[in-house]
Every structure is written in C-alpha cells, then in structure tokens.
Chain A
C-alpha cells in the first residue's frame, strides 16, 4: 500500500512533467526538446519568489503561467511556424523541430546561466510529513499531486467540453481534415503550444518545492516527458495521465522490491513493450 501511494505520488510528478509536452506534440506536432528548460525556468521563478519575498509557490504559479504562455506563443509564432509552413511532410517537420528545439534548449540553458548562474537552487517548502493510510509522505509531494489532478482535470474538461477544446482534439486526430471543416489550425496550434508551455512551467514551479534543480538539468525531464507522452498516446490527456501513473508505480515497485538501480531499465522495458504491442499508445486510435 505504501509502495502504491508513493508510486502514485511520483506519477503525479510525472504527469506534471509530461502534460505540457503532450499538448505541444499532440496538437502542434512539435517534439519540443526545450520542454525541460521551460520547466526549470518555472522552477527558478518559484525559487526566486520564495527566497526573496517568501511568496508561496502556490501563488507564484499564477504569475508563471501567463508569462510562460506568452513566451511560448512567441516561440511558436516566430520560430516554429516557419518550420511548419516549410515542411513538405511529417518526417521533415519532425527532423527540423527536433533540431530547432534542441537549439532552443541550448539557448534556454545559456540564458538561465547568464541570468541566474549555474548554482543549484533548492529551498524547503512544506517539507513536513503527512500521514496517509498509516504511512508518511512529504506534504510538498502530496500538494503537487493534488495540483496535478486539478490541472489535468481542468485540461480534460476543457478539451472535451469546450468548443476550442474539441477543435484542438480534431487537430490532434486529423490535422488535414480539421482544416477542411473550417478549423483555424494555425491559431489553435499556437494556442495549444503556448498552453503546453504554461502547464510545463507551472509543473516546474511545483516540482521545485521538492527537487533540486540547476540550469543544466532540463534534459532529464524532457526525456521522461517524451517517454510518457509516447506511451500514453500522442495528443491524449487520459493516456498521458495513465502512463505517468503507471511509470510512477512501476519505478517505485522496482526501486522498493528489486533495486533502485534498475528503475530506468524497467521503465524502458515497459516503454518497448507498449511500443511493440500498442504502437499507437495506450489509448491511441489506430491510424486509418
């Protein structure tokens, strides 16, 4: 039981890491390798706000979200849309976007270095035990899990109930046909990309309450996020949540019962198994 809850809490962390990328990759078709840098930048904000003005990360996220939204909107419109327009096919766009966003991730690291320096940043926020079903857990992890539930829930409702959400889902499933039925693919792709960036940055702010980050750590999170998004199925909120939880539980089970040194190996075996048996992701629809 203890292992299960620990795993689910870790899954919440993973959902925060991966949800933004899911929107960006699923809808805007950009495999954003700079995702981790946005996350770290969100963490920086929370760190600075907390250490200089004692502002709780729970409030910081309301500042972080709009800034990240605007920034990512600009990145998409200025840098990525030209690639989308230029690409003759999906493969070309994938190749270009991998390289361009990898360049962006370097720029992100470089900017953070020159503004904040390369030092580790960590602070203590709600590092107190909480008792759940007879076991103790970090309050900051529990809090971030609750926030993950709120964010994922809101996204899910928005995507399934609102008109813009439906259009976005249409783009994720069939970008070419979406255009035919009068959906403004360009604007909505930018919207999805920007929203994804905002979610990632908020995730970073929440994660910084219990993880130690520095300017160069982004790539670690990008990698985890990519694996989760692919496992869950591209452009599928539900799939990402389930994949994140599965990964969290699997890693915790392996770490607790087998050996912490084998967590990543186990994660990869699961990743491969899913790819081989359900290449469209857990909930993905078979390509027609």
Chain B
C-alpha cells in the first residue's frame, strides 16, 4: 500500500489548518455563504445570489473593509455549495457557525433552503436576512425565528399585484376579462396559483383555461395551444426558469394573441431579454426594479465589471441590498450578533433600492411586484411603496 498520497493529504490539511488559524487571528470579519452551485436551483443562484455576494465582498474590501469600533476590518468570505439539498444547507450552516466560527452568515437561496436553515440561524443567534424566500407565513415564521428577516415580499402580494395590473388594464378598456392561468406544479407555482385564483375571481375575471404542468416538462406546446384555444385576453403563468423560456418560445411560435403575457421567475433575467430580443417587448414578469435610478445603474455597471455578468432586474439588487443592510448594521453596532439583530429591527437602511426598514413581522414592506420588458429593459410596473414605477404597455404581437 502506498502511503504517500495519504501523507500528502495530511500535510495539506495541516497547512490549510494553519492558514485558517492565521486568518482567524488577523483582523478580518468572517462572513459565511451557502447556496446552490449545483442541483436544480443552481441556475437561479448563479444569476441572482453568488455574483452579488462576490461583488459586495470585493467592493467592501476595495474600500478598505468595514469600520468596526473605529477599526477597518476586511471581509473573509467562506463559501459552500449546498447542492440544492436542505440536508447539506443545514450541515454547511452548522459548520459555519461552529467550525469556521463565522461572524455572520448570508441567508441561503430559495424558500425551502432558507427555511431549512432558519432553526440553526435561530439557535446560534445569527441574523438571517432572507431574500429569495417568498412566503405568506412571514408573521408566523418571524414569531418562531425572531432572527429571520424578509425582503422580497409575500406570495399574495406578488399574485395580487398581477391581478391589479390586469384589472387596471381591463378597466381602462384595453382588454376583456378572459384569463388563461397555468402554473408549474412545484411548491412556488402551486402557492402562487392558489393565491391568485380567488383574487382573479373576486376582480371579476373569467378564468377560461387553467392547468398545471410538471417541473422539467420538455414540450409546452400543448399548454400554449390549450390556452390559445380558449381565446384569453391575458395569459398568466406562475412558472420557473426552464419553463418560463419554453412557454415564451411556444407563445411566439403559436403567435398567442393576448394583450398581457405574464411569466414569473426568470423573466427579469438578462438572459431572457438576450434570447427573445424584440419579442420580449411587453412581457410581464415577477419583480422589477427602477433601472433608471442612479444607484441601480451604478450597481449594474459594477456587477458586470466585477463578475462579468449582468444582474437580473429583481432579486439580484435585493440580494445586494440585503448585504448593504448587513454591512451598515455591522458598522453601526459592531460584531455582536444580538446587537446587529436588534439594530436591524429598528434602523432604516439606505440601499440601492432606496430606504429599507423592517416592520413588526421582520418584513420589508417596500418591494417590487410586477415588471415588464420595455425597450430592452425590464422595468417595474407595480410595487409596494417603491418609486419609479412606469405605466404598463400592451403586448403587441411577437415581432
């Protein structure tokens, strides 16, 4: 038996350990990050979560670090891939808290993974500023996990504002009241569809076509053809990334004639605009930003310069804002996690999205809900308390 590889490994580990110990003694702030780099949610996390984290760390360190008690401290980022597996998320958070001795941990990606990690953030007393965790249970969750904060909005708000946008269009005489509504049969899609259906009915809409399709469906033409046969005035899909693309392409091919076309997650991705070009004009989607605000423009430029990719027009900026909040709070009260959590509840933070503060349910009440591709940019057309919404335009064909 050859012993050498094993010895090599041991010595490598020793060196790594020594380095880690060294790093710990130097004046750095250890920030942990865990999110998917592989698995079903990797595609989304690669666009939305990781680049903003890298950008923030890079910018803070380039500026000399965060000021803690009058001292400049650089950030050391410790990152883990949870493989889109809640068991791995739990292990990674535990490792960050107990082995790596991280000062702070950035909230994971996705509703399921954030909630799987919540009991640990709570037990170890880490503030968890969740971004991509959209849920109606914010009050219950904040009561159970007092360290958990929500920034991106609720399921019902997301659904209700789509209904509102369509209601306004109908009341302005721009379209009739027939809606085709489909959803991906996964937790997020089901939740949104269940929330939206009674709202549409209340608003006097007639749901002429309704169906769900499994995640990963390869051919969505039956869905679009079924919707087209019902001759709706508006098409609403509570969809996930691969099917958002698939539904749009089928709608183009079928030339689905609607006045409003909505697909949910991934519509604000820069890849969506790049792929569909002028056909994307007028497509509605979840989220939005104010792309003309100087803060966002500066952020987008830095994002592209540092990570080589454009940010999306929704959760990317919110992810970055959540890190700004964390940084500002650390600078205000220091590395004491309890103090930071208390500070998060009270203070108002100045972010690239504008001011953000958390209410009694640890929720940020001001967020974007609906956006639309207009002139090659995805602009917010509906929001809760955000400035810069623009009027909705009608979907005018697919050319």
Contacts and interface: CB of A to CB of B under 8 A. Distances in A.
Interface of A: 2-3, 6, 9-10, 13, 109-110, 113, 117-124, 127-129, 136-139, 210-217, 220, 224, 248, 251-252, 255-256, 259-261, 263-264
A118 B185 contact: no
Given A216-B43, A256-B222, A256-B226, A122 B216 contact: no
A260 B214 contact: yes
Interface string B211-241: 1111011110111011000000000000001
Given A211-B242, A255-B222, A220 B253 contact: no
A124 B279 CA distance: 11
A251 B38 CA distance: 29
A211 B246 contact: yes
B91 interface: no
Interface stretch (B53-61, B126-134, B269-277, B379-387): B269-277
In the A-B complex, the 3 residue pairs with the closest CB atoms: A260-B213, A255-B222, A118-B46
Nearest to B46: A118
Contacts of A117: 46
Interface residues of B, number: 41
Contacts of A2: 225
A212 B43 CA distance: 11
B256 to A, nearest CB: 11
B277 A260 contact: no
B249 A120 contact: no
Given A212-B245, A248-B219, A260-B212, 13 more contacts: A6-B225, A13-B218, A122-B271, A138-B221, A138-B253, A214-B43, A215-B38, A216-B40, A217-B216, A255-B217, A256-B222, A260-B217, A263-B214
Contacts of B185: 261
A102 to B, nearest CB: 14
Interface centre among A2, A138, A255 (most CB of B within 10 A): A255
A110 B37 CA distance: 10
B21 to A, nearest CB: 28
Contacts of A264: 214
Contact of B219 (A13, A122, A216): A13
Nearest to A211: B218
Given A256-B226, A263-B217, A120 B43 contact: yes
A252 B132 CA distance: 34
Contacts of A120: 43, 47, 241-242, 245, 266, 269, 271
Contacts of A216: 38-40, 42-43
Contact of A109 (B38, B45, B275): B38
Given A210-B249, A211-B242, A260-B214, A136 B39 contact: no
Contact of A256 (B39, B225, B249, B252): B225
A119 B211 contact: no
B38 A123 contact: no
Contacts of B223: 255, 260
A139 B249 CA distance: 11
B275 A118 contact: no
B315 to A, nearest CB: 15
A10 B242 contact: no
B55 to A, nearest CB: 15
Given A120-B43, A129-B253, A260 B211 contact: yes
A248 B221 CA distance: 12
A210 B271 CA distance: 14
Contacts of B271: 119-122
Contacts of B111: none
A179 to B, nearest CB: 36
A61 B222 CA distance: 29
B309 interface: yes
B38 A127 contact: no
A212 B226 contact: no
Contacts of A214: 42-43
A127 B249 contact: yes
A128 B242 CA distance: 19
Interface centre among A117, A213, A251 (most CB of B within 10 A): A117
A109 B81 CA distance: 14
A260 B250 CA distance: 15
A261 B219 contact: no
B69 interface: no
A157 B195 CA distance: 55
B139 to A, nearest CB: 31
Contacts of B38: 109-110, 113, 118, 215-216
Contacts of B36: 118
A265 to B, nearest CB: 9
Contacts of A109: 38
Contacts of B216: 217, 220
Interface centre among B38, B213, B241, B276 (most CB of A within 10 A): B38
B249 A255 contact: no
A115 to B, nearest CB: 13
13 contacts: A6-B222, A110-B38, A117-B46, A118-B45, A120-B266, A124-B249, A129-B255, A138-B249, A215-B38, A252-B219, A255-B217, A259-B212, A261-B213
B47 A119 contact: yes
B304 interface: no
B338 interface: no
Given A113-B38, A252-B219, A127 B43 contact: no
Given A6-B222, A251-B219, A260-B212, A122 B43 contact: no
